[in-house]
Amino acid sequence: MLKHRGFPGRLAGTDFQFTIRRPNPKGVTAITRRERFADRRPADKRADAAFMAALWAQFGDAPFERGNLDAGRLSWLFGREVKPATDPFDPADYEALLVIDEGLARASFPEAFDGSAGA
């Protein structure tokens, strides 16, 4: 499992996790698309924006390996702002390649690109 050095481990001052420390011995947690409903808590929305800001700062528009990025946090963005970079795509593989859909990410999280997301 690739560890993304320099990537924040969590949203500062919270328990919102961005990375994992070690591979899951029971198997890789699959990335699945989670629906973001309008009534989500503001803290959850801030975590999504901060995670997107960290992804953009680390990888930009280049494809990147899932590695130690948290599957739960990725799942809130998967299928929309973060998409598979290869076909076929294995959502339960630490080496799976992902890419940011910049246009959609900028529309969904403008604060992640203007520096106010707090990652």
What global pTM score does this model have?
Answer: 0.90
- The token duo for 108 is 């969904």
Measured from the Cβ of residue 68, the count of other Cβ atoms closer than 10 Å reads 19
- Could you give the angle at the alpha carbon of 50 between the alpha carbons of 35 and 20, nearest 5°? 80
pLDDT tens-digit profile of 53-93? 999 999 999 999 999 999 999 999 999 999 999 999 999 99
What are the Cα distances from residue 109, in Å, to 18, 31, 44, 117? Answer: 17, 20, 13, 9
Domain limits, the chain:
42-114
- The token duo for 99 is 């890419």
Q: Enumerate helices (H) and strands (E) in the chain, giving the number of each.
A: 4, 3
